[in-house]
Structure 1
Amino acid sequence: MQAHFDTFASVLANPVINTDSYKASHFVQYPPEATGMFSYVESRGGRYDRTVFFGLQMLAKEYLCRPVTAQMIDESKCFFSAHGEPFNEADWRYIVEQYDGYLPVRIRAVPEGSVVPTHNVLMTVECDDPRVFWIASYIESMLLRLWYPITVATQSWHLRKTIGRYLRKTSDDLSQLPFKLHDFGARGVSSAESAAIGGAAHLVSFMGSDTVLGVMAANRFYHASMAAYSVPAAEHSTITSWGREREADAYRNMLAQFGKPGAIVSVVSDSYDLFAALDMWGGELKQAVLESGAMLVIRPDSGEPVEIVMKTVRALDAAFGSTLNSRGRRVLKTVRVIQGDGVDEASIEAILATLDDAGYAADNVTFGMGGALLQRVDRDTQRFAMKCSAIRLGDTWTGVRKAPVTDSGKRSKMGRLTLLRNRRTGEYRTAALPLAWEDRMLERDWEDALETVYENGKLCVDVTLDAIRERAHADEV
C-alpha cells in the first residue's frame, strides 16, 4: 500500500516526512542511555562576513505551529515502509498523545533582523524529553532551510550598503534607498514557495518588488499592511504587439494609461532599437512625457549593463536636461533609468561607480534583480550547517563535536551553546552553557542575545516586519 497525499501542500505540511530518508532510522542509532539532545545553526563563513537572521517566524508559523495528526502518521508509515526505512510509529503516536501533535522542542534564536558576524550561533534546538529526544535532529532538514531566507536577506542587506554608499556620496535624497533594488525574481526561482520565502527576505532591506508571493508572505507572516510596492510597467509583449511600425503608439498608450501627475511609469524600450527608442522619447514623445506630469522610467533590457546605462542616461540628459545637486552631481529631469538585465553585485557597483565618475547622481538609476537575487545562492554561499553539539546521557549533558582531520573548516562547536551580545559595543560571541565564572558578565556588559521563539507548539515571539527592518538598519540612523 502506498501513502496518498491529496496535494503537494499536504506533503510539505507533514513534519513526519519533511526530513531526509535516513533520519527515519536514527532513533535506534543513539546510545541507549541518551535522554536529551541539543543542536545549533551557524554560518561557517562564506561570501559575506556578516549574516542577517530572517525567516524563522515564517517557517515556524507555516510548519511547526500545526500539529502532527494520526492521518499524517498513517501516511508516513505507508511511505517509509515502502521506501526501505524503519518507521518509529510508537514515538510519533506518543507525540500526538502527549503533546497534542506539536513537536516537543525548544528553539532559541537571535532576533530576526539581527546582523551577526559569521562563525556564531544563530539558533539552537533542544529536546529534553527522554523518549523523543532524537526529534531535535530529525527536523534538521526542515530547519536548516533557513539558510535560504537568511542568505537572501544577507545579500540584499549588503547590496543596500553598496547602493547607500553611492547615494550618500552623490545624492541629496537618501529616502529613496529602500526603492533602489526591485525584486524581479519570481519567474527565476525553483518553486512558488521559494518565491514567497526569498521574496519576503529581500524586503528586510528594500520596499520594491514584483514578486507578489514574497510580498504576500511578508504581509501574512510579519504583520505588514503592505510590505512592498510596484508601478505600472511595460513588458516586451505589450510593446511588440503593436508592431514595429507603431512602436511610438505603444509608448503613447503607456503615457495615456498611466501618465498622471506624480505617477511613475516604467517602459521597456529595447524591443527593436534602444537608441531609436531614446530618440523617440526625446523627440516626438517628449512633449507628451512633460505634459503627463509623470516620472518616466526607461528600461534598457539588453547589452552590456554599464555601457548601456551610461549611454541611456546621457541620451536622456541631452533630451530632457538635468539639474546640479549639492553634491555637484547631475540629476535627470522627468526621467530615470531602471536596469534589470545582467544585474548582480558586481554590475551594481560598476554602474554606480561609472555614473559617479561621469558626474551623475545615483538618483538616476534603479535596479531590478532577478535570478541573481533569489536563485543564484545556495547553502554554501554562507556555508550553513546545523550540528548536534551536546547529548544528555542519563542526567548528564556531554558536549559532542564533529572534527574531521580532512577539513578543519567543518569542525563544529561543542556543548550547550548561546550567543552573547555586548551592551556597549554590540559585539557578539558564542559561549557554552553554563557560563564559566569569567564569562558571567550578563549583569555588566554582556547579555544573552538568544530568545525562545518556539516551544512545544507555541510561538513565543511574533515580530513585525517594521521591527525587523529597524533592527537590520539601525546603524543607518
Structure 2
Amino acid sequence: MQLLNNPILNTDSYKASHWLQYPPSTDATFFYVESRGGVYDRTVFFGLQSILKEYFADPITHAQVDEARDLYAAHGEPFNESGWRDIVDRLGGRLPIRIRAVPEGSVVPTHQCLVTIESTDAQAFWVPSYFETLLLRLWYPVTVATISWHVKQIIRQFLERTSDDPAAQLPFKLHDFGARGVSSTESAAIGGMAHLVNFMGTDTVSGLLAARAYYHESIAGFSIPAAEHSTITSWGREREVDAYRNMLKQFAKPGSIVAVVSDSYDIFHAVREHWGKTLRQQIIESGATLVVRPDSGEPVDVVHQCLTLLDESFGHTVNGKGFKVLNHVRVIQGDGVNPTSIRAILERITSAGYSTDNLAFGMGGALLQQLNRDTQKFALKCSAARVDGEWIDVYKDPITDKGKRSKRGKLTLARHQEYGTWQTVPVTDAGAQLPMGFVDALETVWENGLLVRDQTFTDVRARAGQERL
C-alpha cells in the first residue's frame, strides 16, 4: 500500500520515544529473536529475506523524515529528527544495522536464537530497537511454514506406511485454500509462500508472486481446474448431473486431473448415482483422474464413506504394501481440515485398508489464519548494550512468568557438525564460544543497507525437506 511505504512509520508509536530512554553513554545495542516454545517443539525458519527486500532495500529519505516528523508531532510522540537526518546525510539513508540469521528453511528447536540484530554506528545505536515491530513480523511466515511442515510429517508417515511411491505423492498432498480467509493480500502472499516451502500445491496466487519476487522462484506451486458450488448449483438441482458432465467435457483429458465439489445437495447420492453410475464410463474413457470434493459434514466419516462408495463403483488395485488404491478417482477433503483432523482421517482410512494415495487435503484458515505470535511464542529482545565503552548483559526475568525470561549477552546459534544438534552460545570480544564439534550456524544476511546473502527458494526447500520427525 502506497500510503504505508515509509519505514520510519512502520513501527509502534512508543518506539519514537525510545532513543531518549537508554543510558546517556550507550553507543551500541544487540537484539535477538527466538521462539520461546509453543504448540510445536521446533520451527521452520523462513521469511526474513522477504521482509528485508520489501522494507529495507530503499534508503531513508528526507521526505520520509518530514512525513514522520509531522505525524508524530500531531500524534503526541517525540521524534528523533536529528538522528534520522544524520542517517540520511551521513549514511546515505542506509540503516546502520547488521542482521545475522540461521539459513532459511532450517528446522530449529524452540528456545534457540534464530536471528541477531546489532547496531553498527555509535550515533544510531537505537535503530535495532526501532525496527522491532517490523522485524518480529517474521513470526508469521515462520509459524505458517512450521504448521505446514508438521502436517507434512504426519502425511509422510501414512504414505510411507501405505504407498508404493511416497516421495512422488507427498509434495501435492496438502493444498493451500487459505487466500480468502486471511486479512489482506499481503498476508496471503507471505503465508502462501511459507506453505510452499513444504508443498507444491496451492490456489493462493499471491504466494507464487511472493516466491518469485523475494526468492527467485519462477513458479513455486501448481493447481488444477476445480469446481465451486456456484458453478454446480447454477445448473439447478434437477440438472446436477449435467453440471458434472460439463466438468468432464471441459477438463477431463488423458492424464489430466479435475476436482469437483459434490456436496451441494447430497454427497452420497452424487457419488453413488451421478459419478458411480451415470458418468462412470465417461470418466473411465476420458483417461483423466476425477477428484471428488466433499465440503460439509464430519470429515472423518464423510471421507471414509466417499472412498467406500467410489470403491464400489470404480474398484481398486492392491499395492505392494497391501493397501487399496482406487481406479480413476480420488478424494480431496477441504472442510474442517487441520493437523488433528488430518491425522484422524488418515488413521480411519488406513484402518479400512485404503492407501493415502487416494486422498489429498485442502487447508485454509487453519493454515494461514488460525495462528498468532503466541502459537510459537515469538519474541525479539535486547540482550546486550555497550555503555561507557563496556558491553553489559541486558535481560528480563519477571517473577510472575519465568517463561518470559530472556537471554543475556551477545549471542549466536551453533550447530554440531556430526549430530546436527543446536545450541545458543555467547559471543565475546574473542568471538563465539563454540563447544567442541559445533560451528557457528548464523550468517550475516544484511549489513548497513545491503543484502549480503541472497537465498533461493530451491535452497530453502532443500533445507526444510531434509529434516523430518
Question: How does 1:234-383 map onto structure 2 within 5 Å?
Answer: 234-278=227-271, 279-383=273-377
Counterpart residue number, 1:19: 11
**2:25 is equivalent to residue 30 of structure 1:** no
Match of 1:380, SS state, is helix
Letter in 2 for 1:468: V
Counterpart residue number, 1:190: 183
Bigger Cα displacement from structure 2, 379-388 vs 63-72: 63-72
Letter in 1 for 2:61: T
CA distance in 1, matches of 2:301, 2:468: 31
CA distance in 1, matches of 2:430, 2:56: 33
The Cα of 1:435 is off from its aligned counterpart by: 8.2
Shift in alpha-carbon separation, 1:27–1:448, aligned structure 2, 3 A = same
Match of 1:253, SS state, is helix
Counterpart residue number, 2:155: 163
Letter in 2 for 1:415: G
The Cα of 1:128 is off from its aligned counterpart by: 3.1
| Alignment counterpart, residue 405 of structure 1, candidates 393, 399, 408 | 399
Match of 1:385, SS state, is strand
The Cα of 1:476 is off from its aligned counterpart by: 5.9
In 1, are the aligned partners of 2:426 and 2:432 still within 8 Å (CA)? no
**2:451 is equivalent to residue 459 of structure 1:** yes
Match of 1:392, SS state, is strand
In 2, are the aligned partners of 1:390 and 1:415 still within 8 Å (CA)? yes
Counterpart residue number, 2:116: 124
Spell out, residue by residue over 1:72-111, the C-alpha distance to the aligned partner (whole angstroms, 9 max, x if none): 1111111111111011111111111122212110000000
Match of 2:374, SS state, is coil
The Cα of 1:302 is off from its aligned counterpart by: 0.4
TM-score, normalization by structure 1: 0.96
Shift in alpha-carbon separation, 1:356–1:435, aligned structure 2, 3 A = farther
Match of 1:19, SS state, is coil
The Cα of 1:436 is off from its aligned counterpart by: 8.4
Spell out, residue by residue over 1:353-373, the C-alpha distance to the aligned partner (whole angstroms, 9 max, x if none): 001000000011100000000
> Gaps spanning 5+ residues in structure 2: where?
none
In 1, are the aligned partners of 2:256 and 2:287 still within 8 Å (CA)? yes
In 1, are the aligned partners of 2:412 and 2:432 still within 8 Å (CA)? no
| Alignment counterpart, residue 423 of structure 1, candidates 417, 423, 432 | 417
Match of 1:152, SS state, is helix
Counterpart residue number, 1:65: 57
The Cα of 1:232 is off from its aligned counterpart by: 0.3
Match of 2:114, SS state, is strand
Match of 1:131, SS state, is helix
The Cα of 1:115 is off from its aligned counterpart by: 0.6
Counterpart residue number, 1:5: none
TM-score, normalization by structure 2: 0.98
CA distance in 2, matches of 1:396, 1:132: 17
The Cα of 1:215 is off from its aligned counterpart by: 1.4
The Cα of 1:9 is off from its aligned counterpart by: 3.1
Letter in 2 for 1:203: L
> Gaps spanning 5+ residues in structure 1: where?
1-7
Q: Which stretches of structure 1, 4 residues or longer, exceed 6 Å deviation after superposition?
A: 435-438
Spell out, residue by residue over 1:386-444, the C-alpha distance to the aligned partner (whole angstroms, 9 max, x if none): 00000011321111101111111000000000001100000100011128899444xx6
**2:433 is equivalent to residue 446 of structure 1:** no
Counterpart residue number, 1:228: 221
Match of 1:40, SS state, is strand
The Cα of 1:218 is off from its aligned counterpart by: 1.0
In 2, are the aligned partners of 1:35 and 1:128 still within 8 Å (CA)? no
Counterpart residue number, 1:114: 106
CA distance in 1, matches of 2:218, 2:13: 40
Number of aligned residue pairs: 467
The Cα of 1:269 is off from its aligned counterpart by: 0.3
CA distance in 2, matches of 1:98, 1:105: 15
Bigger Cα displacement from structure 2, 68-77 vs 51-60: 68-77
Shift in alpha-carbon separation, 1:439–1:108, aligned structure 2, 3 A = closer
Spell out, residue by residue over 1:312-335, the C-alpha distance to the aligned partner (whole angstroms, 9 max, x if none): 000000000010001110000100
The Cα of 1:10 is off from its aligned counterpart by: 3.5
Counterpart residue number, 1:85: 77
Counterpart residue number, 1:219: 212
Counterpart residue number, 1:4: none
CA distance in 2, matches of 1:202, 1:414: 33
In 1, are the aligned partners of 2:153 and 2:468 still within 8 Å (CA)? no
CA distance in 1, matches of 2:321, 2:430: 53
| Alignment counterpart, residue 56 of structure 1, candidates 48, 56, 67 | 48
| Alignment counterpart, residue 205 of structure 1, candidates 198, 202, 207 | 198
The Cα of 1:131 is off from its aligned counterpart by: 1.2
In 1, are the aligned partners of 2:31 and 2:116 still within 8 Å (CA)? yes
In 1, are the aligned partners of 2:434 and 2:440 still within 8 Å (CA)? no
CA distance in 2, matches of 1:21, 1:475: 40
